[in-house]
Amino acid sequence: MKRNTKIKIAYISVYIFFLIISFMFEFNPGKVIGYNFISFLVYMLKILPCAFILIGLFEVWVKKEVIEKYLGEESGIKGYSLVILLAGTIAGGLLVAFPVTYSLYNKGAKLSIVFTYIGAAAIYRIPMTLYEASFMGVKFTAIRLLISLPLVIITSILLGEYLTKRNYKMAEDK
């Protein structure tokens, strides 16, 4: 067995041992960590299977030419707008956004548009935005979006140009 695998197994074993000891000796911080872990695991098991089915369908049904046309090198502001709308509809947050990002990149989306998608998926999901508006107010949410979305686009453009000049390529699967 590789050294890295042994280290990972050791970390997982220590974590499980910590949880068992916490429940045996009524150590509340450890119990809370255990309950949070189970809660997050259940959440992931509810969201991810459906999300991966949809991502698989996206891979099969959406042609590379369509992505290149609307999100490729010549897409302009229309591409950024479309990818922000796409990111706004995503459920499951970044757990789902990263596989979609990989698919967009492989189908020919411009690098800056891919970065915009990741940023927009992190800050502008419609359900999250509605939830935020109900607690923080519409004015706060509008100001946050009006400031953060242009910053995401500008940063994505700068990062995309920087990496494109250096001939960045995503690492291939092993």
**Which residues does 44 contact at the CB level (< 8 Å), separation at least 6?**
95
Check residue 127 and give its pLDDT: 85
CA distances from 155 to 64, 114, 118 (A): 26, 12, 12
- pTM over 0.85? The answer is no
* End-to-end CA, the chain: 18
Check residue 67 and give its pLDDT: 92
Of 19, 17, 47, nearest to 31 (Cα)? 19
d(CA 71, CA 121): 16
Mean pLDDT per 10-residue interval, the chain, length 174 residues: 86 93 91 93 86 87 92 91 91 82 91 94 89 93 94 95 86 63
